[in-house]
Amino acid sequence: MGTGAHPTTAGPRILDIGWAGFSAHAAAAIHQSTETMSRYRRSQAAGSTFFFTVVSYRRQPILCDETLRSALRESVAMVRAKRPFKIDAWVLLPDHLHCIRALPAGDADFSTRWGMIKRTVSRACRNVYRRSKWLEPTKSSHRESTIWQRRFWEHQIRDDTDFARHVDYLHMNPVKHGHVQRAVDWPYSTFHRYLRQGLLAADWAGDADFDMGCE
């Protein structure tokens, strides 16, 4: 669990943030188009790989808004330039996101990266999403915004099977939450990158009822 706690407060084109908005554009810039099935069944030898869940503050359904998606896309690109990491899979939903990220060998500092991403988005969007009445003393003292829940949930990927299970769970998440009936119909997901690379078919349907113990 580490620095991230399971998000319980009731309150991504690609990165396909719409990463179908990250999909055609950011995906091409962020991911290599020559990835093959070996990417889907990746080795853990090159560095630590983690599955993350990040939630909006008080479950606000704001993360798919164009303003926030644009800020998130730019923030991720900026942080990756300073502290490299690879995005293996991503999905953005209205009130939370899931992603699988691989860090460089010997580097497990995902907390700093998430902190930089969230702060940059908060600064870019503060005039749109600031909710002064929600600024509790603890949030004010930590200079936090009313966009993100403070903590996040993380799971270190154990092996190829674990990786594949989490990728499937991530891509089926919009179906699980009732936003669409098929994974291919949700625009803010790396499902479209996997589809272009021939790793998944348009009619692919994972197990929407499979429970990873997260959102």
* pLDDT over 70 percentage in the chain: 67
φ, ψ of residue 102 to 5 degrees: the values are: -110, 130
Range in 65-69, 103-107, 173-177, 206-210 the model is least confident about: 206-210
Q: In this structure, are residues 34 and 203 in contact, taking their beta carbons and an 8 Å threshold?
A: no
The Cα-based distances of 99 to 89, 123, 135, 144, 150 in angstroms read 5, 22, 27, 22, 17
Give me the mean pLDDT over the 108-136 stretch: 83
Nearest to 99 by CA among 62, 61, 53: 53
What residues are labeled active site?
A: 188
Residue 166 belongs to some domain of the structure: yes
Looking up tokens 């080795």, which residue turns up?
43
Compute the distance between CA of residue 8 and CA of residue 151 in angstroms, rounded to an integer: 10
Residue 113 belongs to some domain of the structure: yes
For residue 134, pLDDT over 60 is answered with: no
* Cross-strand partners of 99: 52, 90
CATH number of the domain to which 159 belongs: 3.30.70.1290
Residue 213 belongs to some domain of the structure: no
Residue 3 belongs to some domain of the structure: no
Compute the distance between CA of residue 125 and CA of residue 147 in angstroms, rounded to an integer: 9
Compute the distance between CA of residue 201 and CA of residue 137 in angstroms, rounded to an integer: 49
Please enumerate in sequence order all residues whose Cβ is within 8 A of that of 127, keeping only pairs 6 or more positions apart, or say none.
Answer: none
Residue 115 belongs to some domain of the structure: yes
The residue ranking higher by pLDDT, 113 or 105, is: 113
Residue 109 belongs to some domain of the structure: yes
* Helix pair angle (110-129, 66-82), 10° resolution: 150
Give me the mean pLDDT over the 123-132 stretch: 78
Quick: pLDDT tens for 35-82. 433 444 433 334 689 999 999 999 899 999 999 999 999 999 999 999
**Structural domain that includes position 58:** 21-196
The predicted structure's pLDDT at residue 136: 60
Say whether pTM exceeds 0.75: no
pLDDT winner (highest mean) among 16-25, 39-48, 103-112: 103-112
For residue 210, pLDDT over 80 is answered with: no
Give me the mean pLDDT over the 176-188 stretch: 96
Where are the strands (E) in the chain, listed by range?
Answer: 49-56, 86-92, 96-102, 148-156
Residue 4 belongs to some domain of the structure: no
Binned at pLDDT 50, 70 and 90, residue 151 comes out as: confident
Number of domains in the chain: 1
pLDDT winner (highest mean) among 26-40, 73-87, 139-153: 73-87
Range in 4-8, 131-135, 162-166 the model is least confident about: 4-8
Residue 111 belongs to some domain of the structure: yes
